[in-house]
Structure formats: C-alpha cells, structure tokens
Structure 1
Amino acid sequence: MEAYTTEEQQVQAIKDWWKKNGSSVILGTVIGLAGVFGWRYYGDYQIQQKESSSNAYQNVVTAAANDPEANLVGLQEFVASETASVNYRVMAAINLAKTLVTQEQYQSALEQLVWAEEQAPDELKALIQVRSARLQMQLEQYNEALATLAKVSDETYTAQVAQVQGDIYLAQGEVEQARQYYQTALDAAGAQADPSLSLKINDLSVEEDHG
C-alpha cells in the first residue's frame, strides 16, 4: 500500500477521490425526492444542485487562490452556507484552514478542520486529522495533537503520522522518542520518504554525541 509522505501526494489523493465521488456528493441529501416527486424531478434537481455547488466551490476557491486575503470572507461564507453540498463545504473548509495558516491564524484554522472532520467522508478524515495535529502542535497542545493522530486509521498515512509524532516529541525536548518516530516514518515511507527525515535523524544523533 502506497504511503502519503508529501503535501502534494495528499492533495492528489483528494483530487482522485473527488473525481471518483464528486458526481454523487449530494445524493444522500435529495434521495428522498425520488419517491415523492418522481425520478425526473429528482434527476433534474440533482443535476442543478450539483452544478450549482460545483460552480460556486470552483469560483470561491479560485478567487481565494489568486488573492487569499481579499477572498477570505468568500471562503468563510461558502463554508457556512446551508445551500451548498456539505462535501464541497468540507473541501472549502480545508482550503480556508490552509489560507488561515498562511496568516498565522492557527486557532481559527484548527476550528475549520475540526468542523471539516466531523462532516467529512471517511476518505478525507486522515488528511484532516494529520493537519489538525500539526496545528495543535503549533499551538503547543501536544497531548491533544497526539490524541488526534491516534485516531488516524488509514495505513497510507503511517509515515505522515509518525513524522508528526516525532515533531511533537522533539518540540517537548524528548529527543530519543522523537528519533524513534522519525525512524518509523522513514521505514514506513521507504523510497518515498521525506528527505528531511534523514536530516532530522542525523541532527539528533549529532546533538546526542555532543550532549
């Protein structure tokens, strides 16, 4: 099973999931209409709602990418919208959190990811949990960060989880535990390992030799 070891791989995983599942993102919210109003109405409604949510999502995300600060409110309003599909809102919340991080609004970014995790399909939960743990570490919420990582059940994130665990222990001065987790991450990632892992392990070894 391939491990996700970089941000680019995580983003590509989301895109692949979206291509596979995007056509049915609102199915659960309108399935009851088929029996009440007939299949034709249901089909038309589904298409209209999907296109509306998709277009709105693409517009707001594109605008935010071009000018994050100026379009921050647009992302926030889309996430809070009750008319857009919840899966599109989850994706927007992930993008919003990323924008907030660039502005060092870590607590606000974490709040977006907490909401996104509650609403997200299983395929996206691991990604959100790893990012949430990184933010909790940034906020020095170390125990909470470790607890968040403990919820990750997707084995493709083993390397990512171990690396963040190493970062958390290193931030607390637990050098030996940090090195053990970095080694676990390196072993799990194999040829796809983040180059920084080897550097971190080597740096910790040098520090210990001179300690």
Structure 2
Amino acid sequence: MAIDDLLDEHEQSERVRSWLRKNGVSIIAGVAIAIGGIAGWQWWQKEQGSHLAGAHGEYQVVLKQLEDKKLDEAAKGVKTLEGGKVQVYGDLAALQLAKAQVDAGKNEEALATLRAIKADPEYKAAIDQRIARLLIATGKNDEAITLLGSATDSASLEIHGDALMALGKRDEARGQYEKALKTLDVAAPQRRVLETKVMDAGGTVTEPAESV
C-alpha cells in the first residue's frame, strides 16, 4: 500500500518558498535590529544561504539513500534534517522516508516516521490524512477515526468514511462520503471516486445542477 498524494516537485518547491516567506521577515527584522548596518545584512544573507544550501544537499543525500533502499541510513539523515534550521526539508524527507517504509512493508516504522513530523499547522491536516490512510491499511480503523476527529475538509471526510466502511458501518460511512461530496467542485477529479463510494455505501448520487 502506498501513501497517497505525496508532494510532487512543484509542491515541494512551493513548501520551501512558503517556509522562507513565513520565517524570513521576522528573522530579517531581528537581525537588522540586533546587528544593524550593511555588514550585518551581508552576514545574515550568507548565513541563511549556507543553511538553505546545506539542508538542500542533505535532503538530496536522503533521497539517494532511499533510491538505493538504504532505509536505516535515510532515517538517520531525516533526524539530522529535522534538527536543522530549515525544518521544511526535514518534513519533506520524512514524507519520502515514510513512503519508502510502506513500500518495504514496514508499516509501523512508517507510522512512527509520520507521527514524528512537527509540521506547521497549515500542513498538519495533510500529515494526519496520510497517517489515517496507513492506520486503515493496518486495520486500526478506530484510531483513524479518532485522529480525524471532526475535520470537515473533503479529503478527511472521505478517509473518515473509508474507516467506517472498513468497520462495516455503511450508513455512517455514506454520511461522511455525502458530506465530502458536497464540498467538492463539480469538476474536481476526486468527485467520480466519491460518487462511487456513496453508491457502494447504499446511497444515490444526483447530478449537480448546471450553473446558468
């Protein structure tokens, strides 16, 4: 079983830029006030560039280790990245490690890897969804339901429904699928999959009205 929706190269780049946007302003302001002057600014630029380049290099090393199936070495690299100053690379590396662990049949290790990610709040839902999918795949459906709690986004509702279906609770699952369907745009790629799940759970699907 593979973890769905791993970040592609574009999403990885966007996440790195998001981290820089979020942390850059406060760091710049702090350094400018504390050090001041052109010399301090030039030092800061060099220092931050060094951290970013170093983290990127370590991330590439982890990817190569995963490609070579050296999961234990990759796991050490992930811990190093997670303890570094550019946290986003640690998160991305952990996601890739978890996928490799699942592919190798090491589901418990993958769960531990995902649970150790200290992601920003804006990414927590996506991490929880990956954990929930893996919990379902390993038969821990009640844990998946508890983890998702009262999440109302489409992906979480769908996964919540999957867990309920696995427990044989078709009516409750159908309710989650129907809620998820209502949050999706008519042209959303996942819509047809959700419609199929609604029908498999005993429901019916009404074609959405076309906008005038």
Within a 5 Å distance, the mapping from 1:119-158 to structure 2 comes to 119-150=118-149, 152=151, 158=153
Higher-Rg structure is: 2
Partner of 1:187: 182
Q: 2:198 is matched with which residue: 190, 196, 201?
A: 201
Within a 5 Å distance, the mapping from 1:1-211 to structure 2 comes to 7=5, 11=8, 13-22=11-20, 35=34, 38-62=40-64, 64=66, 66-67=67-68, 69=69, 71-81=70-80, 82-83=83-84, 85-116=86-117, 119-150=118-149, 152=151, 158-190=153-185, 191-194=187-190, 195-205=192-202
Q: Measure how far apart 1:192 and its partner are.
A: 0.8
When normalised by structure 2's length, the TM-score is 0.74
Inter-CA distance 111–29: structure 2 relative to 1 (3 Å threshold): farther
Q: Which runs of 5+ in 2 are unaligned?
A: 204-212
Q: Measure how far apart 1:46 and its partner are.
A: 1.5
Q: Which runs of 5+ in 1 are unaligned?
A: 1-5, 207-211
Q: Measure how far apart 1:188 and its partner are.
A: 1.4
Q: Specify the code of the residue in structure 2 equivalent to 1:92.
A: A
Q: Specify the code of the residue in structure 2 equivalent to 1:200.
A: K
Percent identity, aligned pairs only, is 24
- 1-structure distance, mates of 2:169, 2:133: 17
Once the two structures are superposed, what CA deviation does each residue of 1:135-187 show, in whole Å capped at 9, x if it has no partner?
222233233212221275xx6xx110111011000010001111111111222
Note if contact 2:94-2:113 (Cα within 8 Å) is conserved in structure 1. Answer: yes
* Residues 197-206 or 125-134, more deviating: 197-206
Inter-CA distance 60–99: structure 2 relative to 1 (3 Å threshold): same
Aligned residues: 191
Note if contact 1:25-1:50 (Cα within 8 Å) is conserved in structure 2. Answer: no
- 2-structure distance, mates of 1:142, 1:59: 35
Q: Measure how far apart 1:84 and its partner are.
A: 6.1
Note if contact 2:98-2:114 (Cα within 8 Å) is conserved in structure 1. Answer: yes
Q: Measure how far apart 1:202 and its partner are.
A: 2.1
| Higher fraction of helix | 1
Q: Specify the code of the residue in structure 2 equivalent to 1:48.
A: S
Greater length-normalized contact order (CA 8 Å, ≥ 6 residues apart) = 1
Partner of 2:206: none
Once the two structures are superposed, what CA deviation does each residue of 1:49-105 show, in whole Å capped at 9, x if it has no partner?
1111112213422553x44x2x32342121111446332111111111111111221
When normalised by structure 1's length, the TM-score is 0.74
- 1-structure distance, mates of 2:164, 2:74: 34
- 1-structure distance, mates of 2:65, 2:24: 24
Note if contact 1:26-1:50 (Cα within 8 Å) is conserved in structure 2. Answer: no
Q: Measure how far apart 1:204 and its partner are.
A: 2.8
- 2-structure distance, mates of 1:19, 1:44: 18
